[in-house]
Amino acid sequence: MDPGAFQARIRRCAACEHRRNAHASVWRWPRCIALDKELVLDNDFMAGPVDNCPLGLWRDLEPVDLDAERAAAGAKRLVRERQVLGPLVAALVRGLDEHEMTRRLLLPVRAGLILPETADAILEGDIQPMEEPK
């Protein structure tokens, strides 16, 4: 099944008034109570035919564009990182020569703490260091 269609079904069911959740120690999967018999909303049920939804809410669902959502989230992270973390990291490497600055910026990039784009902006001087409090 298309991951975008699967995600659209999950989101539609999550918004439905007939969905019931419980702690994992009680139910492993959420339930649908639209019929007299409870339906278990596990992966097999969600990946099944569109007729699995007792209310027919899956028939006209458009698949979610997961690539676009991922790109939007990445762009949002980059903006937030440039505003918040960028000046802080730039302040930490201020005054170092270019070789040492590059070496020190590589560590948080490899650890996934900052994006390579943020490190590049710091090296190019696009992100100014945070001022020390007085």
What is the average pLDDT across 36-64? 92
The answer to whether residue 64 scores a pLDDT higher than 80 is yes
Position 134 scores a pLDDT of 74
The answer to whether residue 133 scores a pLDDT higher than 90 is no
The answer to whether residue 132 scores a pLDDT higher than 80 is no
What is the average pLDDT across 20-32? 86
- Determine contact, residues 31/39, Cβ cutoff 8 Å: yes
Residue 39, helix vs strand vs coil: strand
- Determine contact, residues 21/27, Cβ cutoff 8 Å: yes
Residue 133 lies inside a defined structural domain of this protein:
no
Question: What is the domain count for the chain?
Answer: 2
Neighbours of 70 (CB within 10 A): 10
Position 34 scores a pLDDT of 92
Residue 132 lies inside a defined structural domain of this protein:
no
pTM of the full predicted structure? 0.68
**CA 127 – CA 84 distance, rounded (Å):** 10
> 70 and 43: one domain?
no
> 75 and 98: one domain?
yes
**pLDDT-derived band at 44, boundaries 50, 70, 90:** very high
Residue 47 lies inside a defined structural domain of this protein:
yes
Position 39 scores a pLDDT of 92
Report which of 21, 12, 24, 4 is spatially closest to residue 54, judged by C-alpha positions: 12
- Determine contact, residues 130/88, Cβ cutoff 8 Å: yes
Residue 61 lies inside a defined structural domain of this protein:
no
Residue 60 lies inside a defined structural domain of this protein:
no
Q: In which region does residue 125 sit, left (phi positive, over 0), alpha (psi from -120 to 50) or beta (all else)?
A: left
> 70 and 47: one domain?
no
**CA 117 – CA 24 distance, rounded (Å):** 40
> 36 and 77: one domain?
no
Range of the domain at 94: 66-124
